């Protein structure tokens, strides 16, 4: 049979196939109609059979259309297109200049405006950003932290194997640290060669006994890794202050279960706090215990609600002695992060970073501990303006999770907790992970960090200082409800050392 004969046969069958297709469609419509009007669970479908399904289709697709067709560059939440595009260009090491004026509305209350100096710092006069040593004089193994911008906690489990490899390799190349998140230490964290901060969550994943208590032997073994430079006790996090971590069972593979010390396929839900820690004094005891076992700097991560408990903790430090202090405090914003969390907590509980960070810095200053306790700012910090503001407010370091997710390809599909991430970052579906090449994405991580550092330095030089860490609250103004801006040092005046308000 020749090809032309086969084509003629197919052509002659087309009317029949078309009739069959119409019949199938009609049958589906009839079946759906009957099902809709007889069911009693959904009022819309019962009153509007068949066509009622379009409501749910359009509701599902609405998120997609808003992101790509209808939302303006500065409108989307939690991160708008302009912010994501800056990260995208920075990670690809592309030119990040724009033309024809800013699209940012500078009259919105809370907007940060840096105060340019009439005589900015010449490039020839600029100096390299200073390395800060964490735990110096109080830890057997203090950590010399070179980068002001680092990778925040994202656990293996919440993110995939190729994502961890990309981040850890990129962090090594850029000489920044990477926080493991609460899911324990995986081989992929170590394989990348980065400096690591091991996070101890409330479930003690990776360093736990079967009953969830701290296993000192496992903790000591983690500390033996040279790459593990510090330990962070997670008191609370921005996505869900007052509730423990949530990893759906569909994402708990055999390997993740083994690393965490839990059962495969079961939801991994952490307690809402450390059972050993019910007050400020016990938190200091826990920090001291971990530091004694690991011989490395130890701090804690928290969301701020009120400041009185931190005042009590630092009062206790001054009673016990400076050696009892946490080596660092990570301040997380209460407006959500990468983790799955109840909407009520993510939206409504905990202070945002812009209010919390100055409070924490001032409290440390009031207790005369600014040279002892370092401050790490975390929470929606993905652009140079964010980082520069945090340094002005008094942070020693800034960490970001979602910024680095954007750098390795995140498209903000908001599917992090579904195991269906289309970019392979937060899924353990092997097919979806194929799209994430750890080697090429590691280069993007390095580029993102390097371009972030360069641009923050540019802001600092524009403000007239030679080095980023010399930025302070006199270099930034905050727009008020009146539309006018006020200097940050007037809105949040720092107290003289050791003086309490």
- The matching CATH number, chosen from 3.10.350.10, 1.10.3720.10, 3.30.300.210, 3.20.20.70, for 123-491 is 3.20.20.70
By three-state DSSP, how is residue 463 classified? coil
301: which strand partners?
Answer: 234, 330
232: nearest Cα among 286, 310, 311, 194: 286
Q: How far apart are CA 240 and CA 331, in angstroms?
A: 14
113: which strand partners?
Answer: 477
User: Hey, which of 36-40, 105-109, 296-300 has the most confident mean pLDDT?
Assistant: 296-300
Return mean pLDDT, the chain: 86
Q: How far apart are CA 94 and CA 113, in angstroms?
A: 25
- How much is the pLDDT for 31? 86
What are 130-145's pLDDT values in tens digits?
999 999 999 999 999 9
- How much is the pLDDT for 292? 96
What are 311-339's pLDDT values in tens digits?
999 999 999 999 999 999 999 987 766 55
Longest alpha-carbon distance in the chain: 97
pLDDT class for 499, splitting at 50, 70, 90? very low
- Which part of the chain is CATH 3.20.20.70? 123-491
What are 263-317's pLDDT values in tens digits?
888 887 788 888 889 899 999 999 999 999 999 999 999 999 889 999 999 999 9
pLDDT class for 117, splitting at 50, 70, 90? very high
| β-strands 268-269, 195-200 pairing | unpaired
User: Hey, which of 26-40, 82-96, 126-140 has the most confident mean pLDDT?
Assistant: 126-140
- How much is the pLDDT for 427? 85
- How much is the pLDDT for 497? 45
Cβ contact 37:49 at 8 Å: yes
DSSP 15-36: HHHHHHHHHHHHHHHHHHHHHH
Q: How far apart are CA 392 and CA 394, in angstroms?
A: 5
Residue appearing with tokens 């965490």: 260
Residue 127 in tokens: 């100096």
What are 290-301's pLDDT values in tens digits?
999 999 999 999
pLDDT class for 173, splitting at 50, 70, 90? very high
**Mean pLDDT value of segment 196-218:** 92
């Amino acid at each position: 049979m020749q090809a032309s004969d086969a084509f003629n046969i197919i052509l002659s069958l087309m009317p029949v196939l078309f009739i069959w297709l119409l019949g199938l469609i009609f049958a589906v419509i009839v079946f759906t109609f009957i099902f809709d009007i007889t069911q009693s669970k959904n009022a819309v479908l019962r009153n509007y059979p068949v066509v009622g399904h379009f409501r749910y289709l359009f509701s599902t697709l609405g998120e997609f259309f808003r992101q790509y067709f209808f939302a303006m560059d500065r409108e989307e939440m939690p991160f708008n297109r302009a912010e994501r595009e800056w990260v995208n260009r920075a990670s690809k090491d592309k030119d990040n200049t724009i033309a024809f004026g800013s699209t940012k509305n500078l009259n919105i209350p809370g907007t940060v405006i840096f105060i340019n100096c009439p005589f900015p710092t010449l490039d020839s006069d600029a100096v390299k950003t200073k390395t800060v040593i964490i735990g110096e004089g109080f830890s057997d193994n203090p950590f010399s932290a070179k980068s002001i911008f680092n990778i925040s906690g994202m656990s293996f489990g919440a993110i995939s194997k190729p994502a961890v490899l990309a981040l850890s390799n990129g962090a090594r190349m850029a000489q920044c640290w990477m926080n493991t998140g609460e899911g324990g230490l995986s081989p992929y964290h170590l394989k990348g060669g980065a400096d690591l901060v091991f996070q101890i969550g409330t479930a003690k994943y990776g360093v736990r006994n079967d009953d969830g208590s701290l296993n000192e032997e496992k903790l000591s073994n983690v500390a033996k890794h040279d790459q593990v430079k510090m330990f962070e006790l997670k008191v609370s996090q921005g996505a869900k202050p007052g509730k423990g971590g949530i990893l759906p069972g569909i994402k708990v593979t055999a390997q993740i279960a083994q690393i965490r010390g839990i059962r495969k396929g079961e939801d991994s839900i952490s307690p809402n706090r450390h059972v050993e820690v019910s007050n400020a004094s016990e938190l200091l005891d826990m920090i001291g215990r971990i530091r004694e076992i690991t011989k490395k700097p130890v701090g804690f991560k928290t969301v701020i609600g009120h400041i009185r408990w931190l005042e009590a903790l630092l009062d206790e430090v001054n009673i016990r002695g400076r050696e009892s202090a946490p080596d660092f405090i990570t301040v997380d914003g209460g407006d959500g992060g990468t983790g799955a969390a109840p909407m009520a907590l993510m939206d409504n509980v905990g202070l945002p970073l812009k209010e919390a960070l100055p409070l924490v810095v001032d409290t440390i200053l009031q207790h005369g501990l600014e040279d002892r306790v370092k401050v790490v700012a975390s929470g929606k910090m993905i652009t140079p303006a964010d980082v520069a503001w945090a340094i002005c407010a008094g942070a020693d370091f800034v960490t970001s999770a979602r910024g680095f997710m954007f750098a390795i390809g995140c498209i903000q599909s908001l599917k992090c907790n579904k195991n269906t991430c289309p970019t392979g970052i937060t899924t353990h579906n092997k097919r979806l992970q194929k799209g994430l090449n750890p080697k090429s994405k590691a280069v993007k991580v390095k580029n993102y960090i390097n371009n972030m550092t360069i641009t923050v330095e540019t802001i600092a030089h524009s403000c007239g200082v030679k080095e980023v860490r010399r930025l302070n609250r006199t270099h930034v103004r905050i727009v008020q409800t009146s539309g006018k801006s006020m200097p940050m040092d007037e809105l949040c005046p720092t107290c003289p050392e050791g003086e309490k308000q």
